[in-house]
Amino acid sequence: MTFILGCKTATTAFLAADAALSAPEELLPHKTPRNSVFGEYHQIHNVTDGRIKYEGYPKIRRLPNAAVAFAGPVAVWEEVATCIERSCIEEGRNPVDSLRYVTSSTPLDRISQVGVVLAYYDGNGPTIVSWNHEGSRRIEEHTALCMIGNVGDAEHDAFVGGVNTLFECLLTSKLLDGASLLACILGHLQRSSLDHDLMTRGIGGTYSGVWIDRSGVHPQPDILYAMLLPGQGVVRSVKTIARDDCLYASSGASGHSVIFSYPRYSESAELMRQRAARFRLETLPPLLGSLQWDFFSIVSGRPMPGLTIMELKRNQKFPATGRVILELKPIGDGAFDISFYVRTFVEDVMNDDPDLRGDIFLVYLPYDNEHDTLITVSSRQE
């Protein structure tokens, strides 16, 4: 499972990617472990669950006013990423010139094994550039959206189509800030992982991302994703917390958790492991004890298609009006009550996770049964 995405609005660029996970072969439902479409095992960074040995490798690196993500063999990517970073930081090239320099100076048989999406902000605004998009073996600039990779066999085409449809609505919305848009983007990408319970199966599990504007590169907000399939009575959830270039992902339904440590320029593997250990032992425990989630994402299940993002109580990082963003599509004769479903869903999630009680506020969601539209509702918490 490998999937990276770059997109932009008039003022902000976004980059998102899955964080690869794998587990011992005997724990997987397949004869051959499949942590990505390239069949690559990834470098071991940490072990946070004594029952399962995780291998994780984050696919996004942050640069000054830029971020870059990859799909492909890790060994080749490490070489490419290090060259891009050195070109930007030590040699002073801008991000796209650095990508051009690296792709032209690396042997074709190696550089053609990876796909790269670069997002950055300069005096002209946000830019999305790719290398080897759809096997092109060239650098391309994208006006709005670029996707590289695969989310899994048969559902890939439908998933990509859904991404295009949703993001066309989201990226033209003038009501959403960078953090809200990134929460929407990651929520939709997370849908495939939750739908197939990939974190438990060890072949994927969580998405991470950044947003970039004139003030710099910003990590993702703290997001809790949840999905309830009618009739199953089980809430599938993934919680993500990003701090100090580390990402914590926890599957509440299964009890599995993992910490990804994002590489930093000129940082050794040992320093990266030490940083991850400090995060796990010092930073994470108090966060888990007192955290107010920035966003609560209801990932689409059946019978409600699309995506809903519900913000939790505002905290100091995002002192703004709460929002509910809902993508709506006609369902049957249009008689389905979206607002009732969402309220019922939230009650089930709150009952499943007592830590959420009191943190979620609800607003009425109007349902337009005649149009396939994106409706945004704002409400201050009472």
In a domain, 66, yes or no: yes
What are the E-state strand segments in 220-321? Answer: 223-228, 235-243, 246-251, 256-261, 295-299, 307-311
Give the tens place of pLDDT for each residue, 61-110.
Answer: 888 889 999 887 777 887 888 889 899 988 989 999 999 999 999 888 88
In a domain, 263, yes or no: yes
CB neighbours of 85 closer than 8 A, spacing ≥ 6?
A: 61, 63, 265
In a domain, 165, yes or no: yes
Closest CA to 140 of 167, 170, 103, 174: 103
In a domain, 273, yes or no: yes
Domain of residue 181: give its range.
Answer: 2-290
Rounded CA-CA distance 378/363 in Å is: 8
Q: Based on the structure, what is the number of domains in the chain?
A: 1
CB neighbours of 356 closer than 8 A, spacing ≥ 6?
A: 224, 293, 296, 349, 350
The answer on pLDDT for 29 being more than 50 is no
Q: Tell me the average pLDDT of the chain.
A: 70
Rounded CA-CA distance 14/216 in Å is: 12
Entry pTM: 0.78
In a domain, 360, yes or no: no
**Dihedrals phi, psi of 264, to nearest 5 degrees:** -115, 155
In a domain, 334, yes or no: no
Q: Among 9-13, 39-43, 225-229, 344-348, where is mean pLDDT lowest?
A: 39-43
Tokens 């971020």 correspond to 67
SS3 sequence of 27-59: HCCCCCCCCCCCCCCCCCCCCCCCCCCCEEECC
The answer on pLDDT for 35 being more than 50 is no
| pLDDT average, residue stretch 282-294 | 83
Closest CA to 376 of 172, 237, 208, 187: 172
What CATH number has the domain bearing residue 22?
3.60.20.10
The set of long-range contacts for 218-221, using a CB threshold of 8 Å and a minimum separation of 24, is: 218/178, 218/179, 219/243, 219/245, 220/182, 220/183, 220/186, 221/179, 221/182, 221/183, 221/294, 221/295, 221/317, 221/318
